[in-house]
Amino acid sequence: MSGDPIRAIYDRRAASYDRTVGLGERWLLGNLRHAFGAELRGKTLEVAIGTGLNLPYYTAAVTGAVGIDLSPQMLARAGARAHDLGVAISLVSGDAQRLPFADATFDTVAISLALCTVPEPEVALRELARVCRPNGRVVLLEHVRSPVAVVYAAERLLSPLQERLIGCHLTRETIQTARRLGFTIESEERRLWSVFRLAVARPSSATGDGQPAPTSARSAVNPARYAAPGS
């Protein structure tokens, strides 16, 4: 599934997203969103920010924030949440695989529960590395293929339906992929048979160089901005 169908799915899901995710979120994620927020520092980009469910966990260590998402409807909700929370963030519409930002722009680049949906996660990971400053950090909160055989069997069984319904793949090995691309995983927290992972990674100088999105493609992204305090 490529960008347009995914955008349409999330535009449709936006109104009910918080409610449906909220049902199992505490059980599935425990305090991982809180821990994710604690890893954000300096000038921070949150990729595939969705409705902004991580915004309540941003701390004062974030000195400037930008959020990007494919779905304008999800972004509109993130804007409303940021406004309610008084979080200053600039929100931009665009694709994780062609980030409309210059190389080495951010101290922290973060993404949660979205590399399962992005059509080409390797391309997106390289883009996260590209826009991250040297010595910056990439923070990943993702669900991945479990090393526990019976859980993996369930993931394999459910994944085709999940892919068809919401473009979400249950058996990706995202943290392994990041390692293969040259990220150094500095810390990794696991939850629920290691399905959910919070990883803090440092891209190597080569990670962002493998497959740069063409400049023309980057500037073709419409950086529609949404109102949020301080943006």
Binding site for ligand SAM (CB under 6 A): 3, 6, 10, 48-50, 53, 69-71, 74, 95-97, 112-114, 117-118
Gap between the Cα atoms of 211 and 81, Å rounded: 34
Q: Give the nearer residue to ligand SAM in terms of CB position, either 121 or 182.
A: 121
In the bound state with ligand SAM, the residue whose beta carbon lies nearer, of 108 and 112, is 112
Nearer to ligand SAM, 37 or 136 (CB): 37
The CA distance from 35 to 22, in Å, is: 18
What is the C-alpha to C-alpha distance for residues 147 and 213, in angstroms, rounded to an integer? Answer: 32
In the chain, the amino acid numbered 153 is A
Residue closer to ligand SAM (CB basis): 96 or 125: 96
User: Smallest distance from the beta carbon of 171 to ligand SAM, in angstroms?
Assistant: 16
| CB 149, min distance to ligand SAM, A | 26
To ligand SAM, the closest distance from the beta carbon of 134 in angstroms equals 24
Q: Is 193 left (phi over 0), alpha (psi -120 to 50) or beta?
A: left
Q: How far is the CB of 23 from ligand SAM (least distance, A)?
A: 13
Q: How far is the CB of 119 from ligand SAM (least distance, A)?
A: 7
d(CA 80, CA 51): 9
Helix H or strand E segment including 20: helix 3-29
Give the phi and the psi of residue 66 in degrees, each rounded to 5: -130, 135
The residue of the chain with the least Cβ separation from ligand SAM equals 50
The residue type of 57 is Y
Q: Which CB sits closer to ligand SAM, 145 or 169?
A: 169
Comparison of 189 and 204: residue with beta carbon closer to ligand SAM: 189
* CA–CA dist 140, 54 (Å, integer): 12
Q: How far apart are CA 26 and CA 24, in angstroms?
A: 6
Asked if residue 35 lies in contact with residue 13, where contact means CB atoms within 8 angstroms, the answer is: no
Q: How far is the CB of 34 from ligand SAM (least distance, A)?
A: 13
